[in-house]
Each structure stands twice: as C-alpha cells, then as structure tokens.
Amino acid sequence: MISNISTLPRRLSGVLLALSAGFAGAQQAAAEEMTVYKSPTCGCCKVWVDHVKAAGFDVTVHETRDVSPVKQQAGLAPQLASCHTAFVNGYLIEGHVPAADIQRLLQEKPDALGLSVPGMPAGENVPGMEVPGVKAKFDVLLVSKDGGAVPYSHYE
C-alpha cells in the first residue's frame, strides 16, 4: 500500500499533464482560420501577419503580385483599400487592422462585409507599420455590404 501512495504524485502529474495537453489542443482547434493575400515583397504585411498570429489566429498566406482582383471580387471599394486583404469567418479584413478589432468583430458578428484601415498609416500603434515614438491617428472602418463604411474604432 505504501508503494501505491508514493507513486500517486507521479500518476497525478501524468494525468494533469495529459489534461493540460488536451486543453491546449482544444484551444488550438478553436483558433479562427484566416487567409491573407499579400505581395511577396511587402515587409509590413509580413509583420501584420505575425501580429495576428500572435493574437491566436491560424493564418494561411497566399503571395500574389497583384492583390487588386481579390479586393474587387470581395466587393471592396477602392477608397477603402490598403496593401493586403484577409478573410476570416466570412469577413474581409483590409489593411493594418489591429487584432483586437478583428476579435471584437468576430464576437459581435455584425451584418457587414468586414473591417478596413484604408491606406497605410504609420505609427507605433499601427500593427505592421510601427514607427517608434510616433502615434498615428487612424480609424478602423466597418465596411457595409453595400460598400459604405462607418467608424468602428479610433486610434490616436
């Protein structure tokens, strides 16, 4: 009986380790899958992809010299365009949208095309366009299915 008691901590450790591995696997399985279309030469796009990966998104990248057809096919108005286009859970994500806004969009599930940060604002608060010591003033826009857009988040 004493030998059983002495092995209990090892057995319990093994059970806890197996449970935590199973929990981690379940968390990974629940990660939102994101598909990104970007130029193979765009460094800021790569940094943004790293940003959304760090936030827990499971990202597949398609490199293409011309992302314009992807934007047009998705119904994005040219004035809302940026350098890369992504899709997650049926939503379009255009440009350097912070991961927190994407997570909020997926939680709220509005009837919309998606989110956009038009152009390429630069500042330490813009994922992928970080400039130390500079704060960019920019809006994340909620893009409607008819092509219009309204402010979703504001950054300064």
Place 31 in a pLDDT band, splitting at 50, 70 and 90. Answer: confident
Place 55 in a pLDDT band, splitting at 50, 70 and 90. Answer: very high
pLDDT at 4 over 80: no
With b for 16 or more beta-carbon neighbours within 10 A and e for fewer, the 3-32 pattern comes to: eeeeeeeeeeeeeeeeeeeeeeeeeeeeeb
| SS3 category, 122 | coil
Q: What is the pLDDT of residue 110?
A: 98
Beta bridge partners of 143: 114, 149
